[in-house]
Amino acid sequence: MAMRPLLRIPYTDPLPHPRIIPAAANSAAGAVVALTEFLAPSLRASSSASASSGNGKTVLLTGAGISVASGLADYRGSAGTYTLNKTYRPIYYNEFCENHEARKRYWARSFIGWTNLDRAKPNAGHKAVARLGELGVAAGCITQNVDSFHPTTHPSLPTIELHGYLRSLICLTCSSEYSRRSFQTQLSSLNPAWSTFLTHILTTGALTTENPLERRAKGLKTNPDGDVDIPDAPYTTFRYPACPVCLADPPTRENGAGRLRVEVDSDGAWRESSEGGVLKPAVIMFGESIPKSTKVRAEEAIDGAGRILVVGSSLATYSAWRLVKRARERGMPIGILNLGGVRGEDTFYADVPEGDRGARAVRVSENVESVLPEVVKELERMAR
C-alpha cells in the first residue's frame, strides 16, 4: 500500500486542560525548577563522549507560542486567532493553486500583514534556544513557525522549518525562489490605492501595537503567518506579479507541445489567461504535502536525540504531533512548555513515574519568554 503524503491539517477538537507535571511546577518559579531538572541530563551528556553523536541531548519542537512576544499572532492562545476570531479559516493549498480570486484575497491581506512580520524581531525565547545550543543541551530545533526567527537567531544550531518560511516565494511552475521583500515592492507598485491605505493604517498605529485586541479596535484582525483581515475590503481589485523566471523563459509543457503561456498586463500583473508562473509563499499551506526530505530530517532529529522539549505549541497539526508520538514510542522523556492545552498530552504522560521531579517528564503552562531564559540561567550556573 502506498504511503499517504504528510499534510499540514489543523486540529479542531477541544484541547485538554493541562495536567501540571510535577505538581510543584504550577508557578513560574516551579516551572523553572522542573524544566531545569528535565534539561540537566542533556547538559551532562554534552560533556560526555557520546555527545558528539547527539545521544542524550534534547531536540526542541517549537510553535507559534514562542513568537507571540515578538508581536506575532498565534492560533490557540488566550489572544490567538481561533480564540478571538471564531470564523477564521486559513486558505488551503488547492484554493491558492486553482483560484485567481482566492490568490488576490490572500496577497492583499499578506500585503498589509507583511509590514509587521518584516519588522518583528526574535525575542528572549529564541535567544534562550540559541543559548541551549551553545551550552550543548540542544541537538537541534524543529519549528512549525514560518517567521525565520530560529535560523536567524541561532545559525549554528540546526533548524528544520517543518512548515516552510515566509521570507521567500516559490513558483508553482518552475520552482524558482523569489525574495518576499522584492515581491512586496512589486505589490506596492501594482496596487497604489492599497499602498496608500497601508501608509494610512501605519499612521494609526494599528500595525505597531503588539496587542491583537488593540488592532481589532482599529479595524484589523491580525492572524498568523502575516495575514490581516480588513472587513469589506475590495480584494478583487488586488493585483500580483508573475514569476520573473517563467515570464522571461516560459517552461515547456509537460507533453512537449510548445511552451506554457505566461502573460502580464501593461503594468506587469499576472493575467488570468496565463497557464503558469504563479508565485506562492514558500510555506506549507494547510492541505499541502510536507516534502519527504523535510519529513525524514525531522524524524532523524527525533531519533538522534535523547529527549524532546515542546516549546509554545499545542501540537494542533498532525505533522508536529506525530513527532512527539514518535518520541514517546521510542521511550524518550517528553517535556512541554506551552500556555494552555496540548493535543494528546494525556497519552504522552500516561505512565509518569511516581515522585519524578521533572527528569523523565515535564508539563508546565507558562509564558515561554518569561520561563525559558530563567531555565537557561540555571543551566549556565550548573555548567560552571
DSSP three-state, residue 143: strand
97 belongs to an annotated ligand binding site: no
- Which cell numbers in the block locate residue 10? 489543523
**174 in a labelled binding site:** yes
Strands (E), 138-295: 138-143, 159-161, 164-171, 177-179, 221-223, 227-229, 279-283
- Residue 124 grid coordinates: 528572549
Are the beta carbons of 66 and 148 closer than 8 angstroms?
no
163 is catalytic: yes
3-state SS class at 355: coil
Query: 243: annotated binding-site residue?
Result: yes
What CA–CA distance (Å, rounded) separates 224 from 213?
Answer: 14
Give the active site residue among 17, 150, 163, 200. Answer: 163
Distance CA 214, CA 191 (A): 27
Q: How many helices (H) and strands (E) does the chain have?
A: 14, 11
What's the one-letter identity of residue 375?
V
Residue 369, φ and ψ in degrees, nearest 5: -70, -20
CA 273-277-278 angle, to 5 degrees, is 90
Query: Would you say 43 and 137 are in contact if contact means Cβ atoms under 8 Å apart?
Result: yes
b/e sequence 254-286, b meaning 16+ C-beta within 10 Å: eeeeeebebebeeeebbeeebebbbbbbbbbbb
Amino acid occupying residue 37: E
Q: How far apart are CA 236 and CA 230, in angstroms?
A: 13
Is 141 marked as a binding-site residue? Answer: no
* 25 closest CA partner among 365, 367, 314, 352: 365
C-alpha cell at 151: 535560523
Closest residue by Cα to residue 13 from 344, 285, 336:
344
Q: How many CA atoms lie within 13 A of 308 on its CB side?
A: 28
List of E strands, 150-278: 159-161, 164-171, 177-179, 221-223, 227-229
Binding residues: 171, 174, 243, 246
Show which residues are catalytic.
Answer: 163
Binding residues for Zn(2+): 171, 174, 243, 246
